[in-house]
C-alpha cells in the first residue's frame, strides 16, 4: 500500500475512524521505524484511541493524546507534543481527527504545516449503517462540513460500512454501491475497504483493496 508521511483519518463520528487509525498505525509500524498515532478527538471523551493504549504501546508506536477524560479538567486540550507530528519529518504519523466538523476544528492549527510539507493523505471514513450518512448525498454533506471546519481537503475515501461486531461480509458487499456513489459525488477514489479480519477473507477477490482490521475499540461487553 502506498502511504505518505502523515495520514489523517476523519469522518462522521461513529464512522469507525479510531479503529481504522489504530490498525493503519500497526500496519505502518511493520514498514517504518518511527511511527506515532495522535488522538485529536476532543469531542468524544469516552471511547478513543487512548483506550487501545496497550496494543499501541506493545507495538512500539508513540501515542499522543489529550488527558481530558482521565483528568480533573472539564475542558479538553491538546498536548504541545502534538506539534512533533508536523515538525519531525522522520516520523510517520497517523492522526485520528475528532468526529464531524466540531472534532475537525482542532486540526486547524496544524494545517499550514501539513500543506507546506505536502506529504500527507487525508482519508474520509464512511459507514452506510450510520443513520446520518446512510446515503451518498448526506455523506458528502458531512464531508464538506469537515473540510470547511479544518480548512483541508480530503484526498480519498475509506469505505468502512459496518454494524460493529455484528457485521457480515454481505453487509459490506451490499454497501459497495454506496461507496461508489460517494466516490462519484465527491470525486475522491476509494483507497481501501475495511473489513474485520475474520470476514475479510470472504471479500478478497470480490472487492478491491480490502484492509483487514482487528477491533480494538468496542462498545461495551456483550
CB atoms within 10 A of CB 31: 10
- Which of 52, 162, 183, 193 touches another protein by CB under 8 A? 162
Told to check if 134 binds another protein by CB under 8 A, we report yes
Stretch that binds another protein, among 55-63, 89-97, 127-135, 193-201 (CB under 8 A): 127-135
CB of 14 to another protein, least distance (A): 6
The region of 146-154, 157-165, 176-184, 194-202 touching another protein under the rule CB under 8 A is: 157-165
CB atoms under 10 Å from CB of 87, counted, come to 11
What is the bridge-based pairing of β-strands 190-196 and 210-213?
A: parallel
Q: Does 47 bind another protein (CB under 8 A)?
A: yes
Q: What's the closest the beta carbon of residue 201 comes to another protein, in angstroms?
A: 22
Stretch 50-79 residues interacting with another protein (CB under 8 A): 69, 74
The residue among 115 and 134 lying less far from another protein, judged by its C-beta, is 134
The CA–CA distances, whole Å, from 149 to 9, 86, 216 equal 14, 19, 28
Which one of residues 60, 164, 189, 201 is an interface residue with another protein (CB under 8 A)?
164
CA distance 133 to 104: 17
44 is an interface residue for another protein by CB under 8 A: yes
Question: Does 222 contact another protein by CB under 8 A?
Answer: yes
CB of 37 to another protein, least distance (A): 21
The residue ranges that bind another protein (CB under 8 A) are: 13-14, 44-47, 69, 74, 100, 102, 127, 129-132, 134, 162-164, 166, 219-222
Amino acid at each position: 500500500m502506498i502511504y505518505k508521511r502523515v495520514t489523517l483519518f476523519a469522518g462522521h463520528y461513529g464512522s469507525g475512524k479510531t479503529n481504522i487509525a489504530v490498525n493503519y498505525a500497526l500496519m505502518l509500524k511493520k514498514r517504518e521505524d518511527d511511527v506515532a498515532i495522535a488522538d485529536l478527538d476532543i469531542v468524544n471523551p469516552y471511547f478513543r484511541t487512548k483506550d487501545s493504549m496497550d496494543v499501541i504501546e506493545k507495538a512500539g508506536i508513540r501515542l499522543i493524546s489529550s488527558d481530558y477524560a482521565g483528568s480533573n479538567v472539564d475542558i479538553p486540550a491538546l498536548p504541545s507534543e502534538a506539534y512533533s507530528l508536523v515538525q519531525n519529518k522522520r516520523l510517520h504519523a497517523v492522526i485520528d481527527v475528532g468526529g464531524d466538523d466540531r472534532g475537525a476544528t482542532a486540526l486547524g492549527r496544524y494545517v499550514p504545516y501539513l500543506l507546506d510539507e505536502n506529504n500527507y493523505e487525508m482519508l474520509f471514513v464512511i459507514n452506510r449503517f450510520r443513520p446520518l450518512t446512510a446515503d451518498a448525498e448526506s455523506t458528502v454533506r458531512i464531508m464538506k462540513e469537515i473540510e470547511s471546519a479544518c480548512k483541508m481537503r480530503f484526498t480519498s475515501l475509506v469505505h468502512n460500512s459496518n454494524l460493529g461486531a455484528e457485521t457480515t461480509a454481505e453487509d459490506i458487499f451490499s454497501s459497495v454501491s454506496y461507496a461508489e456513489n460517494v466516490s462519484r459525488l465527491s470525486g475522491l477514489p476509494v483507497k481501501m475497504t475495511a473489513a474485520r479480519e475474520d470476514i475479510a477473507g470472504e471479500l478478497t477477490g470480490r472487492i478491491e483493496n480490502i484492509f483487514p482490521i482487528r477491533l480494538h475499540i468496542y462498545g461495551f461487553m456483550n
